[in-house]
Structure formats: structure tokens, C-alpha cells
Copies of this chain bind each other. A is one copy, B any other.
């Protein structure tokens, strides 16, 4: 039993390193999103850092519309990035964790 525990701790350390490596890699994974009509285009990393925002000139004429477009498109982009982020990290964490039923939920945020 003690041997199992030591092995489990070693595996946890290995998993931590894999999680760190995955987080770093997600900085290079880009997620594109745009409004339905393409007037706002946004690129995020899978770690939810905004890399670019492109606004069509026509939106500059109506500030409220522009603000609404930005909110909707950003939220779509952030959700998309979060889904990729969570799936990638959950896969790595799950692989390295002892198989305790119901533990998966702890890694989704």
C-alpha cells in the first residue's frame, strides 16, 4: 500500500509537468470567431488571451451596435477557447489521476 502511494505521488508529479506543458502549448493554439455577418472578427489563444480584433468600418457609425457586436462575438470566442482549454487539460489530468469515480468534475472550470 505504501509502495502504491509513492507510485501515485510520482505519477501526480509527472501529471503536473504534463499539465504545465499543455498550458504552454495552448498559448500557441489560436481560436477564430466572428459575428454572423463577419463585421467583427476575433482571434484568441486557447488560454483565452485576445490576439486580434478586426472591426469593419461600417460598425464605427453606430457605437451601441459596435459594443453589442463585440460582446456577443467575444463571448462566443471565449466559450470556444474555454472548451478547447478544458478538454485538453482534462485529458492530461485524467490520464495521470487515480481512477476515483466522480473526480472528473473537479477539473472542469
Contacts and interface: CB of A to CB of B under 8 A. Distances in A.
Contacts of A13: 102
Nearest to A70: B53
Given A20-B105, A89-B109, A53 B71 contact: yes
Given A60-B60, A70-B70, A106 B53 contact: no
A17 to B, nearest CB: 9
A31 interface: no
Nearest to A43: B71
Nearest to A1: B1
Contact of A78 (B23, B49, B70): B49
Interface string A76-103: 0010001001100100010000001111
